[in-house]
Amino acid sequence: MSNSLKTPVPAGRPKTHKPTIALVGNPNAGKTSLFNALTGARQKIGNYPGVTVEKISGDFTHEGDTFEVIDVPGLYSMTPVSNDETVAVKVLEGDPEPPKLVVYVLDASNLERNLFLFSQLAETHTNVVVALTLTDVLDKEGARLDLAKLSSHLGCEVVPVIAHKGIGVEALKEAMARALASPDELELDVGFPKVVMDAADRVVDHMNRRGVALGRREARCVLLDEQCTTSERFRGIPELWAVIEEERQTVLGASGQGRTLDAQARYAWAAKVKKDSITPPVERRRSGTEKIDYFLTHRVFGLLFFLGVMYAVFQSIYTLAGPLMDVIDAGKSAVADFVRPMLDGTPVLQSLVVDGIIEGVGSVIIFLPQIIILFFFISVLEGTGYLARAAFLMDRLLGWCGLNGRAFIPLLSSFACAIPGVMSARVMPDERSRIMTVLVAPLMSCSARLPVYVLLIGAVIEPRYGAAWAGFSLFAMHFVGLAVAIPVVLILNKGVFKGKRLPFMLELPKYQWPRWRDVFLTITSRAKVFLVTAGTIIFAMSVLIWALLYFPRGDNPRYEREYSSLSAARQETVSLEQFQELRQREESILGRFGKAIEPAFAPAGFDWRLTTAILAAFPAREVVVPAMGILFGTGGDVDEADEGLVSAIQRSQWPDGRPLMTPWTAMSLMVFFALCCQCMATLAAIKRETNSWKWAAFAFVYMTTLAYVFSVAIQQIGRLVS
Amino acid sequence: MEKVLTSKELRKGMKARVATVEEGEDPCTRLMELGLIPGTEFSVTKVAPLGDPIEIEMRGYKLCLRRTETECLRFVELP
């Protein structure tokens, strides 16, 4: 349809126009491996408009001609349920333009189900080449395949391919070039029952007599499936609809179960094709995968092994990423030190570049090691087949509130850092669970929240209640986000996401060694996506936040007068430069804003210093400890273990002399940090993964609201109790 | 008359046949597209440690499903 709106392509189109080839098939049929083998590193990752579905395409060259391949999302049928499937069907139906050739990736080891989709596809697409994958699995099982028979049943060329070994890839390219040069006419008939096709013929006749064009296939579709798109043409016309209804009665009788009939006909055909083209092994041996699975999905060993794997993964992220992050941090300082003197003449530019851009972008790139390491483990676990087992084991635990077993990895990753957590939500095949997981992942207590907990627990809880309670508080803080996430998911599931729910379906693939090439490609493409985000969105936000804290420039002579009127004891704790910096920030746009909204945070027990620290930490919550250092007058160069900051916090008071940091205020502040979305990199990642600012804004608003409500509630309960 | 089972009554190691499919509910169309149609024979190969999901083997492949999402199906046990 959209084609008719376009200007026609001028005749004699330039030869550079690449024919598009769609790679279609069931999930797990080996599509991605084949895509990687065809295109290598020449891949582009984008998004389909309006949905979170990634558009993956790439080029390959064969005998001087360049072709564009689209890796269409995996499909089970041409009746889409999820957005991913809708996108896939749209691509096949010619949005934005119909592919010149469909390469159907057919899993030889799972022929019947893979042929179901083929039977639907072959009704509308005539130019098809079949890439037959996983024939090595058949060989291993001892089954024999008759390629000629399979090809004659399917009515098109069938090329066996073992993509990761490069076997058959060249032959496939040749077959593709042949099919593009002389498109084939494929007319597949799976053999629907006579009663169905007779009724379809009568409907066609009737419609044709009335001057309504209707094909036999469409008539059959209307008869067997009320939801068929062709039905819409007739539903509004009572006299035509009556004819269809009558024939439906004839075909289906009282049961009205047309889809059953449709599926039965297709599967009967698929079973026959399989029987004719594959000779099963004489005896079926228990496969290695089944032996391994006996332990790895066992109710005791399976769970223990799972916990062990997860512990190993996150322990290595923690220990391996640390040194790399230090290196990046040192690099950031080195770059800043290198650039700073070059801009000495222009202080505004110097501050913009050093404090704004290098600091802002640098503090995000520091997460790159975590992302690389996490995606290394994810792609290895996925490549071996274990990730699917983990989802199988965990599904019940996460399923009851509306998530599914696959959400496990993103949520667990988010305890280290929400950015890789959000990015890894792509392991989920349907958009709804993906968005839901992306939205709650930032509630998990990431490692950047830890310094705040340590600082406040060390300053307030431990001195009063002892080490045991301090330890318990730290532990409890990590559960706050998780506990809040459950009702959030329940509400999202009921209230925000409406419409069809995809059933949970999962296939446990055979165990195998990961393909290192695929692992490498996954890591590099994820790292690239992350760096592009850091270089664009985060760059822009860093500049904005810098400007809000930098302008207007302070009145240094006035600050100096104020400083000289301070008591000598106070002057000991803070130098003139620190004091000027503090006052300048206080009077910057952001600082004024902090003061202005202090009344709003007063019910939570926060004074303007805490409020400004919170505001300053919105771009990245790591900033909060240095910000508190500046605001409480001990200078920005502090960490959570700094004695001076701890005692400054303990001694801090409201103007009327009441202590500021009561245990309730500490708790309220920690819960605020636990729930609030103070991380622009996470928001940028959410935007990137959901392909819309809407969900990033949603996450920001709901988390900030929750944080505010909870911290006010805690403070108010505290007031009532004491 | 054979005893008709629901998905809650499927046990590990059991062999069964799909007796009926109630069309019209959302997940059901998809289950049929995956090959669970009246007459399909399968065996239950795994049950997750927490009781759900289960894995069944049919038509030469294995598929994990939730018991709660296969309520539109009825089964009969095979010897």
Question: Looking at the domain assignment, is residue A585 inside a domain?
Answer: yes
Interchain contact, B52 vs A260, CB within 8 Å:
no
**pLDDT, mean of residues A242-263:** 86
Choose the final residue of a domain: A130, A151, A181.
Answer: A181
| Shortest distance, CA A293 to any CA of chain B (angstroms) | 9
Residue A49: band (very low, low, confident or very high) from pLDDT cuts 50, 70, 90: low
pLDDT of residue A440: 94
Whether residue A257 and residue B31 make contact (CB cut-off 8 A), yes or no, is no
Would you kindly state where each structural domain of chain B is located, as residue ranges?
4-78
CB contacts of A109 in chain B (<8 Å) are 60-61
What residues are paired with A67 via a beta bridge? A60
Q: Report the distance separating Cα A365 and Cα B50, nearest Å.
A: 40
Q: Which of A262, A279, A296 is the last residue of a domain?
A: A279
Query: Mean pLDDT over all residues of chain A?
Result: 84
Interface of A with B in 43-72 (CB under 8 A): none
Inform me whether the C-beta atom of residue A267 falls under 8 Å from chain B C-beta atoms. yes
Q: Which residues of A touch B39 (CB under 8 A)?
A: 264
- Give the pLDDT score at A571: 76
pLDDT (0 to 100) of residue B76? 96
**Do the chains contact at A508 and B64, CB–CB below 8 Å?**
yes
Which amino acid does the sequence have at A593? F
The pLDDT tens digits for A261-292 are 999 999 999 999 999 999 988 877 777 888 99
For residue A314, is it within any domain?
no
- State the count of interchain CB pairs (< 8 A) between A and B: 113
Does residue A203 share a domain with residue A174?
no
Are A166 and A219 members of one domain?
A: no
Indicate if A207 and A162 belong to the same structural domain.
Answer: no
Note whether A478 and A673 are within 8 A (CB). Answer: no
Best of A278, A395, A433 to disrupt the B interface (most B CBs within 10 Å) is: A395
In a domain, A409, yes or no: no
Decide if A396 and B52 are in contact by the 8 Å CB cutoff: yes
What's the rounded mean pLDDT across residues A570-583?
76
Cis peptide before A96 (omega within 30 of 0): yes
A112 in reach of chain B (CB within 8 A): yes
- Interface list for A 159-198 with B (CB within 8 A): none
The gap from C-alpha A156 to its chain's centroid, in whole angstroms, comes to: 37
**B73, A224, A505, A479: CA torsion to nearest 10:** -90
Residue A426: inside a domain: no
- Integer Cα distance of A220 and A567 in angstroms: 92
CATH number for A155: 3.40.50.300
- Same domain for A150 and A215, yes or no, is no
Inter-chain residue contact B48 with A77, CB threshold 8 Å: no
ipTM of model: 0.95
Say whether B23 and A501 touch across the interface (CB within 8 A). Answer: no
State the average pLDDT over residues A181-189. Answer: 79
Query: Do residue A565 and residue A614 come from a single domain?
Result: yes
Which chain B residue lies closest to A118 (C-alpha atoms)? B33
Q: What is the DSSP string of A299-311?
A: TTHHHHHHHHHHH
Percent pLDDT > 70 in chain A is 93
Same domain, residue pair A166 and A215: no
Where do the DSSP E strands lie in A6-161?
20-25, 43-47, 54-62, 65-71, 101-107, 128-133, 144-145, 158-160
- Supply the pLDDT for residue A83: 76
Same domain, A57 and A164: yes
Q: Give one DSSP letter per residue of A315-352, joined into a string.
A: HHHHHHHHHHHHHHHHHHHHHHHHHGGGGTT-HHHHHI
Task: Say what the pLDDT of residue A413 is.
Answer: 79
Residue of B nearest to A499 (CA): B26
| Count of the separate structural domains present in chain A | 3
Collect all residues of chain A within an 8 Å Cβ-Cβ radius of residue B63. Answer: 505-507
- Taking the CB of residue B12, how many other CB atoms lie within 10 A of it? 11
Instruction: For residue A402, give how far its alpha carbon lies from the nearest alpha carbon of chain B (Å).
Output: 12
As a whole number, mean pLDDT of residues A693-719 equals 94
Tell me, yes or no, whether A234 and A99 share the same domain: no
Per-residue confidence (pLDDT) for residue A536, from 0 to 100: 76
How do residues A329-387 score in pLDDT, each as one tens digit? 899 889 989 999 998 888 889 888 887 788 777 777 877 887 788 889 888 988 898 98
Question: Shortest Cα distance from A13 to chain B (angstroms)?
Answer: 41
Are A569 and A684 found together in one domain?
yes
CB-based contact A297 B49, cutoff 8 Å: yes
Q: For A313-338, write each residue's pLDDT tens digit.
A: 867 776 787 788 889 889 988 998 99
**Which tens digit of pLDDT belongs to each residue from A475-528?**
888 888 888 998 999 888 887 776 566 678 888 888 888 888 878 988 888 788
- The CATH label, of 3.40.50.10800, 2.30.30.90, 3.90.1150.10, 3.40.50.720, for the domain at B4-78 is 2.30.30.90
Under 8 Å between Cβ of A644 and A573: yes
One domain, residues A135 and A48: yes
Is the per-residue pLDDT at A635 higher than 60? no
Q: A348 in a domain, yes or no?
A: no
The alpha carbon of residue A30 is apart from the nearest alpha carbon of chain B, in Å, by 15
For chain A, the straight-line distance linking the first and the last C-alpha, in angstroms and rounded, comes to 69
pLDDT of res. A621: 80
The pair of three-digit structure tokens given for residue A46, joined into one six-digit string: 């984008």
Residue A288 lies in a domain: no
Q: What's the gap in Å between the CA of B10 and the closest CA on chain A?
A: 17
Among left, alpha and beta (phi > 0; psi -120 to 50; other), residue A128 is beta
Domain that holds residue A222: 194-279
pLDDT tens string A412-467: 878 878 888 898 887 777 788 889 999 999 999 887 787 788 888 888 888 889 88
Q: Residue A297: its chain B contacts at CB < 8 A?
A: 46, 48-49
Interface test with B, best of A221, A506, A511 (most B CBs within 10 A): A506
